[in-house]
Amino acid sequence: MDALSGSPLGWLCLGITALFGVTMLCMDKRILAERANVLVWRLLPALLGLLSVATLGAGGGLVVFCAVCLVSSAYLGGRVLLPVGDKAVLITGSDTGIGHALAKYLDNLGFVVFAGVLNKDGPGAEELRQTCSQRLSLLQLDVTNVTQVKEAYLEVSEKVQNTGLWGVVNNAGILGFPADGELLPMSMYRRCMEVNFFGAVELSKTFLPLLRKSQGRLVNISSMAGGIPLPRFAAYGASKAALSMFSGVMRQELSKWGVKVAAIHPSGFRTGIEGTPDLWDKQTKELMEKLQADTKQDYGEDYLLGLKSYFLHMPMHCDADLSPVLNAVLHALLAKRPHGLYTPGKGAYMSLCIFCYFPLWFYDFFMSKMASTESVPSALRTSEAESKDL
């Protein structure tokens, strides 16, 4: 401790360390269940600061202390959640899937929930009426219907009045018919963009005055397909990628108003977005009718029908537990320092890292191996057979 006692810089380091530790202890108002973990991160800079001064001297100790303080501050800022209080949140697409589960989850936590549904008299809306508290309000809300969006704004504004709207969760979305991009009709591209992107933009622009008033949160439910290219998700992925880019730009632009924006990129979860067998039959028929003759011949009818069979089994490979997504949305809504991007679910973050940091040929190879069991178009099977004969 000679360096500490003999140097003004050492005394300054010790003083700052002590002041930091005392301040953090005084600010600790978190619940007892979390206090032990929080105290460790708040005392860590103080302990390391004293140790570093003793071993490295005053200058080195001060550098280490400052570095640990930054790491500790960043960690705690991401963990500290604001109280729910009377915070009001609007959720779109609450009939089924993530939106439905999120409406129940937030209502149970004490939020004032506005659940937008496509059908106010449907089974999803009725279940919310039966299971949720009186705080939850149902809104007839098709995000592609400008009139319904404006009516929802007026109803929400009237109910929140001076408290403002704390959060908007753009969850409403459609999957469309996952197939090779060449096979999809233009109507499918337009429909995905209309619901998944333009609907979210329309709703965000309409409700932003309320979010600016409360300095609240805008949360957009994108998809893993919105961050990385996935085969057979050209229409869906393009619409979600647009939503993710919109989120990033709005995060930068709205920061000056105190509004925080986050995008959620879930991996595969069982939400019912894939639709029903009847819907698949209808979409398959539409796809077959609109294909050009040469394209239909090259791919083969068995390949086209195999698309429906493959994706009807898609839910079997998805996680039924939606809690990772719900927890990510809650963190985006209440964290003092929410992340700009969340990747809940198995494989979502790993796939994004491979796409972003590895050569593209490696990513393409990785995806081709994952899809190696899929069927092959008719023309390619014929070419392979001819090559073997030669």
**Rounded to an integer, what distance in angstroms lies between the CA atom of residue 49 and that of residue 308?**
62
- Predicted confidence at residue 4, as pLDDT, reads 46
Residues 342-376 pLDDT 10s? 999 887 778 888 888 889 998 888 887 766 556 77
Chain position carrying tokens 């709207």:
165
Residues 319-334 pLDDT 10s? 678 889 999 999 999 9
User: What residues are paired with 169 via a beta bridge?
Assistant: 91, 219
- Predicted confidence at residue 30, as pLDDT, reads 39
What would the two tokens of residue 228 be?
């990385």
Task: Count Cα neighbours of 191 within 13 Å in the Cβ-side half-sphere.
Answer: 10
Task: Please check whether residue 354 is in contact with residue 368, taking contact to mean a CB–CB distance below 8 angstroms.
Answer: no
Arithmetic mean of pLDDT, 101-124: 96
Task: Identify the residue with better confidence: 177 or 372.
Answer: 177
Lowest mean pLDDT of 1-10, 74-83, 136-145, 336-345, name the range: 1-10
Task: Please check whether residue 190 is in contact with residue 241, taking contact to mean a CB–CB distance below 8 angstroms.
Answer: no
- Predicted confidence at residue 313, as pLDDT, reads 67
Residues 9-68 pLDDT 10s? 556 665 665 666 555 555 444 333 334 454 555 566 667 666 766 676 666 655 555 555
Sorted by where each begins, the domain ranges of the chain are: 2-79, 88-274+320-360
**Rounded to an integer, what distance in angstroms lies between the CA atom of residue 130 and that of residue 138?**
12
> 236 catalytic, yes or no?
yes
Task: Identify the residue with better confidence: 298 or 117.
Answer: 117
Mean residue pLDDT across the chain: 81
Fold of 88-274+320-360: Rossmann fold (3.40.50)
- Predicted confidence at residue 295, as pLDDT, reads 85
- Predicted confidence at residue 291, as pLDDT, reads 82
Arithmetic mean of pLDDT, 62-83: 61
- Predicted confidence at residue 312, as pLDDT, reads 66
Per-residue pLDDT at 386 exceeds 60: no
Our CA angle for 157, 165, 191, nearest 5°, is 85
236, 299, 303, 342: the catalytic one is 236
| Sequence-separated contacts (24+) of 133-140 with Cβ below 8 Å | 133/107, 135/107, 135/110, 135/111, 136/103, 136/107, 136/112, 137/112, 137/113, 138/94, 139/90, 139/114, 139/115, 140/116
**Rounded to an integer, what distance in angstroms lies between the CA atom of residue 61 and that of residue 351?**
40
Lowest mean pLDDT of 16-25, 83-92, 219-228, name the range: 16-25
Residues 275-306 pLDDT 10s? 666 767 777 777 777 788 888 888 887 887 77
User: Residue 81: which of 24, 40, 43, 31 has the closest Cα?
Assistant: 31
| DSSP structure string for 351-384 | HHHHHHHS-HHHHHHHHHHHTTTS---HHHHHHH
| DSSP structure string for 53-121 | HHHHHHHHHHHHHHHHHHHHHHHHHHH-B---TT-EEEES--SSHHHHHHHHHHHHHT-EEEEEES-TT
Q: CB burial class (10 A; 0-12, 13-18, 19+) of residue 85?
A: exposed
3-state DSSP assignment of residue 30: coil
User: Residue 380: which of 295, 292, 299, 296 has the closest Cα?
Assistant: 299
The neighbour count for residue 37, using CB atoms within 10 Å, is 12
The pTM of this model reads 0.77
3-state DSSP assignment of residue 281: helix
Task: Please check whether residue 183 is in contact with residue 299, taking contact to mean a CB–CB distance below 8 angstroms.
Answer: yes
What would the two tokens of residue 277 be?
């067998």
- Predicted confidence at residue 31, as pLDDT, reads 37
Give Cβ neighbours of residue 376 (< 8 Å, ≥ 6 apart). 303, 384
